[in-house]
Amino acid sequence: MEQTLFETSFIYDNTFYERQLISPFFIPFLEELLHLFKSIKINFRLRKFTPIDHFEAVFTNKKFEIKEFGTSDKVLIFELNTQLIKNEIKFLQKQASWAKTIYIVPYTTECEDSKNVFRYKNKNEIIDILKNNIFHFALVVGVDKSILSKPLVNQTQLTLF
């Protein structure tokens, strides 16, 4: 099995699946599901994996404008499900120990405090945390990538008058 934080290549049932958009974080869950399907004789076929709404990697530039997958060294990882964050933090600490990683969690979420954990009460605070910290990866919990739909930097609008 070959892997990056956000892609996995693996062999299943004598078929090679190259650079699938599934994080190695989810491979144990996939293995359990495939084992269940085989054990109760459910016919299935794996096809190309499409991005899911969990541990969603969004590559951005310094202005937090979305870039093509894999083309930036600044990645926001969005996770809506607060129940997954403990294991996702462990995964990032183990698999990306070389990287500067921050964790941005809702104020009310239980999470071990450290210098890399930041808590927010509203979406504007997320933006401020991102702007004011240096990181390679930011795990942003409780919101999705739609917070990036508006430019995060103030732009001056030119007028004719």
Question: What letter would DSSP give residue 152?
Answer: S
Burial class, 60, CB count within 10 angstroms (exposed 0-12 / middle 13-18 / buried 19+): buried
Per residue of the chain (161 residues), what is the pLDDT tens digit? 667 888 888 888 888 888 888 898 988 999 999 999 999 999 988 887 887 889 999 999 989 999 998 899 899 999 999 999 999 999 999 999 999 999 999 998 887 767 899 999 999 999 999 999 999 999 999 999 999 865 545 544 555 55
Say how many Å lie between the first and final Cα of the chain, rounded.
61
Its pTM stands at: 0.81
The sign of the torsion formed by the CA atoms of 80, 82, 84, 90 equals positive
Give 153's Cβ-side CA count (13 Å radius): 9
Contact assessment for residue 50 and residue 70, using Cβ atoms and an 8 Å cutoff:
no
